[in-house]
Amino acid sequence: MSNTLRKAFYGIIFFAALGVCLSSLGGHAQVLAAENGAAASPKGPWYRDISTIISVTALAFSFGTTFVSYHRTEMQDIQASRQELRGILQRLSAIPRENLEAAKRYAGDQSSIAGVSQLYNQECTMLSRQAAEIAKRLPKNLVSGTEYYAIAVAFQSSYNLSAAKEFLNLAMTVANNFNDEIGAIRSSANLDFITGRPEEGRVLYQQALNIFAKYPGYDPYTIASTHIYTEIFWGGSEAGIGQFQLATQHADNAQRIVEGLPASMGSDGLKAQIEQARQQLARVSAGTASAPVVPAQTWLPH
């Protein structure tokens, strides 16, 4: 039960209790009057008294209109909050693109690039907090896994990693399709590696590899490509903490999966992705490149 409905419910109980109390006081007053010698005509059961029936009906109608009014107000608040959340998330999704365009526009002017990036980061920080507040006000069944994920990515972009982890967990909880869920699982696993919890991250990556036990019925190519990307992401996370041997093992796992696919443009593209990952790992292990960064899941295939 939402807060608004809960308030309405308690309000109805309060007025009902007040009505019972007033009715009891009225009955008590009649008894006192009879004891003092006041003449009182005998009355039948209350449900045969027209005036009582009218009063009870009016009270019930008042309660009903109060409840309906509270419910309508809550629905309007929810709709307004949903619209506000969508607007904020659309803006958050546009910030990385605008930041990249600004970097290209001011190429060679590092001070300008740094200044613009700082402004975008401040905006991202503010909007991510606003989005989180709105999402927490809304019932969980009205916020999708994609929306929770978008808020998590915004928090991670503004270096609020604890909040990012919280919303990735929410995204995993409410996700109702494999694409939303596996994106949140992979990102949460990589975040564990970043924050010094690689064992927890490995558990999540293994959970990602088992995703089709929960979502059966997909075609072999979708299953294979999903597992290949999971292996590549896992290898990137391992390389990020200096575990190059484990990273290479995951690249080998991805290679074995792609070799089981029939020749096609899709499988050729996956082979190219694996080779690119191997080259990046070689450069990192040789000290000629920085550790690979696992991209946001929304930018990549399954």
Q: Per residue of the chain (302 residues), what is the pLDDT tens digit?
A: 455 555 555 555 545 544 544 444 344 444 444 444 444 445 566 556 677 667 767 667 666 676 666 656 777 888 888 999 999 999 998 988 888 898 889 888 888 888 988 888 899 999 999 999 999 999 888 999 999 999 999 999 888 999 999 999 999 999 989 999 999 999 999 999 999 999 999 999 999 999 999 999 999 999 999 999 999 999 999 999 999 999 999 999 999 999 999 999 999 999 999 999 999 988 888 876 655 544 444 433 44
Q: Are 224 and 258 in contact (CB under 8 A)?
A: yes
Q: Which of 126, 151, 191 is nearest to 298 (CA)?
A: 151
Neighbours of 29 (CB within 10 A): 10
Instruction: Say which residues have a Cβ less than 8 Å from residue 210's Cβ, sequence separation at least 6.
Output: none
User: What's the gap between Cα 240 and its chain centre?
Assistant: 27
Distance CA 113, CA 105 (A): 9
Instruction: Say which residues have a Cβ less than 8 Å from residue 264's Cβ, sequence separation at least 6.
Output: 221
Q: Are 204 and 185 in contact (CB under 8 A)?
A: yes
Instruction: Say which residues have a Cβ less than 8 Å from residue 178's Cβ, sequence separation at least 6.
Output: 211, 212, 214, 215, 218, 226, 302
Instruction: Return the percent helix, strand and coil in the chain, to nearest 5.
Output: 80, 0, 20
